Structure 1
Amino acid sequence: MTESRMALVAGLFIVPALLLWLGHRLRRRTGAWRGAFWGATIGYGVGMTGMLVAIHAPPVLWAGGWRAAAVHWGMLAAAALGAGIGALARRGA
């Protein structure tokens, strides 16, 4: 299994399971933890939307590498980026 396929599987199954675990007792967590959770949740939604748009792109646009990157890495990268931004935003607030 290539690393792109592993990233797709991680984005489909591991990230939602991790978000479910991170959301447990969210009220008792620190502000940075809550920011990371909500940032990752929003980022995952944006990444999922981008993946769905890329997967339905016409085949003539598949020649470039952008589609494969968006489909395989979109959810994982967007969730990680969102978690980082959310944690930094809540820490500074």
Structure 2
Amino acid sequence: MRMKGGVRYDPEVNGFVAIIHIWDNAYCHGEPEEWRYPEVFSTQDLAMTYYKANIRPALEDLMAEAAQSDSGVRSIHRRLED
């Protein structure tokens, strides 16, 4: 599984939303599943600030938990930006 998160503009709601794309493979092949935080932000900066303060830490905790499980799954976590 591979997850990438960030924000994007959604013209249907006229605002920015925090998103996570989830692939069922490590190579990002195929169409990802998209998870969206339900709140709409008026600016990209507000959405990214929320993502970095709330969603990213939860993802990091989830990945750390998965890496420590006995599932035999190898986990690598890279933060592409601060």
> What TM-score, normalized by structure 2, do the two folds share?
0.38
> Which structure's relative contact order is higher, taking Cα pairs within 8 Å and 6+ residues apart?
1
Rg bigger for which structure?
Answer: 1
The structure whose residues are more often strand, as a share, is 2
The structure whose residues are more often helix, as a share, is 1
> What TM-score, normalized by structure 1, do the two folds share?
0.34
